[in-house]
Chain A
Amino acid sequence: MLLREVEYAKPSSVAEALQILASNDGARALAGGQTLISVMKARAASPDALVDLAALDELRGIELAADGTLSIGPMTTYTELVDSAEAKARPILAEVCAQIADVQVRNRGTIGGNLCSNDPTNHLPPLMVSIGATMTIAGQGGERVVSADEFFLGVYLTAVGPGELLTKITLPAGKRDAFAAVTLGVDGTCIASAAASLNGSLRIALGCVDATPVLVEPASADEGAVREAVRGAGLDPPADVHASAEYRLHLSEVLAVRAARQAAERS
């Protein structure tokens, strides 16, 4: 398909990328392109310029600190996360990344792209909220750190503003995580999802039911407590060709129970 005319640059430093983004209103950062190229074909997005982040080694790599904290560069691909020895410190990461789309998409798609596109059906936004990850955002004025709860602002909208870049994702130590979803076919798009993290108190983030992941914090992982927490969240999920609002609400509750149980069973 012929895309609308677009300009392209491939900067060699984050500073250079920020400069181009800041001085061109219509410029968008291009990570793996597995969402952006698609929406450009559909004309759902029509950036005037693409700033390719592929040469920015500063945005790649996975580091595991002595206390178990994981720092992940946003340009790290799903496949790199699945294959990473360091990422095994938080096993859910590889487990979820291995069920996103297919081999080709996992080879190109990045964790940063998944988070910054913030499609409500994406796997990683609810996972980051349940884990309590933090995001480092850089702009020409410097860096700031935002919690996952504050990072996702709306459909396709995050705290990464114009002229800014997500530069790091930081995950605290923890292994008792789970992710449950009903998808369109194996490894397909989520119709409803729930990510649970039971490292200390229980945090469950529900996907596909609102513009951003909905965090619920049941008193325990018991089925009754989880159902009560989800019912108390006042969800008003969207209806589409795949699920009515009522069915999505039902799935959300069931998946929350499932994810909480799986997280509780892990040691």
Chain B
Amino acid sequence: MSENAAALSSSRVITVTVNGTVYEREVEARKLLIHFIRDDLDLTGSHIGCDTGNCGACSVIVDGTLVKSCMLLAVQADGSSIETVEGLADGDELAALQQAFSDRHALQCGYCTPGMLMSATALLRTNARPTEAEIKKGLQGNICRCTGYWNIIEAVALAAERTRP
């Protein structure tokens, strides 16, 4: 128990909202956000690819900002609202972006897909009609070893086309 945020401690109780659900958990200060999400909350949609901040498979949106959850401690996310890939679909109804990934075969093994979807979601929120160059820049922090990226770029463009206001 350490309610004084300014006091050093090796663990603390944090409260986060993930995809609309509020969770309160005690976490060790050394625990990365991705481990908290996967192991403590059992939300295993976000993947650990490289664990070195390079591949982007663990990308989630924290308070509206796209981040790599392996480059953040869980305690740093205290009080925040987090969106993960599990929050994209509406029940069995795929989000437009997910449907576009399916329609354009934008994945093979699927390991990078949760991160790709979160990066593309963040991109399309700030830029509803991205150019090809803007899509590439938006997905720059995400590595895919299967597709060669083209189908992913096409899928994001298709999702933008379909959801154009």
Contact = CB atoms under 8 A, between A and B. Distances in A.
Nearest to B48: A1
A187 interface: yes
B51 A186 contact: no
Contacts of A186: 140
B23 to A, nearest CB: 19
B10 A1 contact: no
Given A9-B6, A37-B53, A41-B52, A104 B76 contact: no
A11 B53 contact: no
Interface string B1-44: 00001111110100000000000000011111001000000000
Interface residues of B, number: 37
B5 A10 contact: yes
Given A6-B30, A50-B29, A37 B72 contact: yes
A227 to B, nearest CB: 34
Contact of A4 (B30, B66, B119, B138): B30
B56 A102 contact: yes
Q: Which of B28, B32, B141 has the most CB of A within 10 A?
A: B141
B53 A38 contact: yes
Contact of A38 (B10, B29, B35, B71): B71
A265 interface: no
A93 B142 CA distance: 25
Interface in A10-41: 10-12, 16, 20, 24, 27, 30, 33-34, 37-38, 41
Q: Which of A4, A101, A104 has the most CB of B within 10 A?
A: A104
B145 interface: no
A52 interface: yes
Contact of B29 (A7, A11, A187): A7
A24 B59 CA distance: 33
B67 interface: yes
Contacts of A108: 65, 67-68, 71-72
B125 to A, nearest CB: 12
Given A33-B73, A103-B137, A9 B10 contact: no
Contact of B9 (A7, A24, A30, A55): A7
A3 B30 contact: yes
A5 B10 contact: yes
B30 A103 contact: no
Given A1-B32, A102-B56, A104-B59, A9 B8 contact: yes
A186 B8 CA distance: 40
Contact of A1 (B51, B138, B142): B51
Contacts of B73: 8, 33, 37, 50
Nearest to A102: B141
Nearest to A16: B6
Contact of B76 (A38, A49, A52, A105): A52
Nearest to A36: B71
B119 A11 contact: no
Contacts of A5: 10, 28-30
B158 interface: no
Q: Which of B8, B12, B66, B68 has the most CB of A within 10 A?
A: B8
13 contacts: A3-B30, A3-B31, A7-B9, A7-B10, A8-B9, A8-B10, A8-B73, A34-B53, A37-B73, A38-B52, A102-B141, A103-B140, A104-B56
CB-CB nearest 6 A-B residue pairs: A102-B141, A8-B29, A3-B30, A7-B8, A102-B140, A11-B6
